[in-house]
Amino acid sequence: MIIKICFVCHGNICRSPMAEFWFKELLRQRGIENEYVVESRATSTEEIGNPPHRGTIRKLAEYGIVPAGKRAIQLTRADYEKYDLIIGMDSANMRNILRITGPDKQNKVRKLPEFAGSGKDIADPWYTGDFDETFADISEGCDGLLKFLGIQK
């Protein structure tokens, strides 16, 4: 069975594509990328159709990752049924995800830092300009997600 995961942030140009492509890389390193579908979405319409932010592209490039072809897409109500996990980056994302998808009756909607045992929000580098801090938090959350899914490091 293929597990489908969707990372979500406000615009789908900074945090969620960073998480999407980093998690895909972690799966690739373990040789299990074909067992998962990993995508990302936005809660807003502001950046729809735009590529990832240059800061996200630069940070991923440090690890040899190129988010080729990625364009911002908005989350839809239908995505709730499509994905097994919908993972937001901050508290505002969580509220907006539920506004779009409706009630989380299947407990699919989670905040990424929860997987690392934290209740904090992942700061939006669109505002902070700190893509390194954002990547560190996303990396920690993705490591926790691997453990949650039963995937060894």
Q: Which residues sit opposite 86 in a β-bridge?
A: 6, 109
Catalytic residue among 6, 9, 14, 142: 9
Q: Is the dihedral of CA 25, 1, 106, 149 positive or negative?
A: negative
Catalytic residue among 14, 124, 137, 142: 124
8-21 exposure pattern, b = at least 16 Cβ within 10 A, e = fewer? bbbbbbbbbbbbbb
Q: What is the CA radius of gyration of the chain?
A: 14
Task: Decide if 90 is catalytic.
Answer: no
Catalytic residue among 6, 14, 15, 110: 15
Instruction: Dig out the tokens for 97 from the structure.
Output: 């995800």
- Residues acting as catalytic residues: 9, 15, 124
